[in-house]
Amino acid sequence: LLVSKILVTGGAGYIGSVAATVLIDHGHEVLVFDDLSTGHKDAIDPRASFIEGSLLDLSALKQATQNCAAVMHFAGKSLVGESTQKPDLYREVNIGGTANLLAAMKSSGVERLVFSSSAATYGQPQSDLITEDSPAAPTNPYGQTKLEIDQMISASKLSAISLRYFNVAGALQTKQGWISERHANETHLIPNVLKATGENPLKIFGTDWDTPDGTCVRDYVHVVDLIDAHILALDKLTSHHEIINIGSGRGNSVREVISASEKVLGRKIATVDAPRRDGDPARLVASIDKAQKVLGWAPARDLTAMIADHHAAQK
């Protein structure tokens, strides 16, 4: 059996650390590359090798890509709200950093890439379900950087798949414990719902959106299902670049996430209505037909499982 070494950039972050563990469980050798700016050293699978380095350091990337069979690229700045405050930082790290990674891959002769793209590339959609052919018109700098990276990958000669994630949630249970989202400054909905208290109620960002209950609608997908899509993608890389949505194909409003969480917790969640957040589109829901056709993938875990797993990981 030929063991292949996979470079996992951002492998100390929420999604990347789950990927590293699942890849190792599938028999791959994993090298994690992360600058620990938002990730956690203790989230890195103990069976993985680790280089502490930045995407802005080309020589560190050249070293990291040596003898790798493929790269899974998760590293980058990933917050919609922050990107509207710091657009230059997002361009530098996401676009400049990925340009460095592609240059390093070229110099090391690595031709296979799975990239974390985003639903934020689409912007405010024109149709109910977003397909990969839907027009790309990001409403925030974060989405703009992910779109430009997808274009950069298309222009390269790499065998690549960009997975356009919708809203990732949930956690992975391992023998060492749970791997879950642990951001110092948490902005994501489900973690914030679960930690809301009477003194610190969940802020609902906008109750006057053009949606059935006035709150934003998103498509939530379990991190374990998401990483399963990456593993399938690794096997489906062809000589060109494919872009594939990864979501559940269903929309849930902020209020629906709150009521699903109340059922999981068996108690009320304190909330307060707040103004709209900059850069948010009203509704983002994926068509996942292409993921089913090309990858043979379908999500297996529902919103309740995402909430319950995140809750179990926090205990």
Residues serving a catalytic function are 142
Is residue 280 within 8 Å of residue 216, measured between CB atoms? Answer: yes
Strand-pair category, 271-274 with 202-205: parallel
Q: Is residue 134 a contact point for ligand UFG (CB under 6 A)?
A: no
Q: Which 66-95 positions form the footprint of ligand UFG (CB under 6 A)?
A: 78, 80
Q: Is residue 258 a contact point for ligand UFG (CB under 6 A)?
A: no
CA–CA separation, 53 vs 59, rounded Å? 10
Q: Is residue 297 a contact point for ligand UFG (CB under 6 A)?
A: no
Q: Is residue 50 a contact point for ligand UFG (CB under 6 A)?
A: no
Closer to ligand UFG by CB, 50 or 90: give it: 90
Angle in degrees, CA 202, 208, 211, rounded to 5:
100
Q: Which stretch binds ligand UFG (CB under 6 A): 6-14, 128-136, 151-159, 184-192?
A: 184-192
* Residue of the chain from 284, 291, 303, 308 that contacts ligand UFG (CB under 6 A): 284
CA–CA separation, 6 vs 273, rounded Å? 44
Q: Is residue 166 a contact point for ligand UFG (CB under 6 A)?
A: yes
Per-residue binding string, ligand UFG, 193-232, x by CB under 6 A, is: ---------xxxx----------x-x--------------
Q: Is residue 254 a contact point for ligand UFG (CB under 6 A)?
A: yes
Q: Which stretch binds ligand UFG (CB under 6 A): 51-59, 113-121, 126-134, 304-312?
A: 113-121
Closer to ligand UFG by CB, 108 or 145: give it: 145
Tokens representing 213 are: 């209950």
For 190, the enclosing helix (H) or strand (E) is helix 189-195
Closer to ligand UFG by CB, 54 or 201: give it: 201
Q: Is residue 119 a contact point for ligand UFG (CB under 6 A)?
A: yes
- For every residue of 234-286, DSSP letters joined together read HHH--SSEEEEEES-S--EEHHHHHHHHHHHHTS---EEEEPPPTT--SB--B
Residue 33 CB contacts under 8 Å (≥ 6 apart), including other chains:
7, 8, 9, 10, 11, 50, 51, 53, 60, 61, 64, 75
Question: Whose CB is nearest to ligand UFG?
Answer: 216
Closer to ligand UFG by CB, 64 or 114: give it: 114
Closer to ligand UFG by CB, 28 or 164: give it: 164
- Spell 115-124 as b/e; 16+ CB within 10 A means b: bbbbbbbbbe
Q: Which chain residues interact with ligand UFG by CB under 6 A? A: 78, 80, 118-120, 166-167, 187-189, 192, 202-205, 216, 218, 254, 277, 280, 284
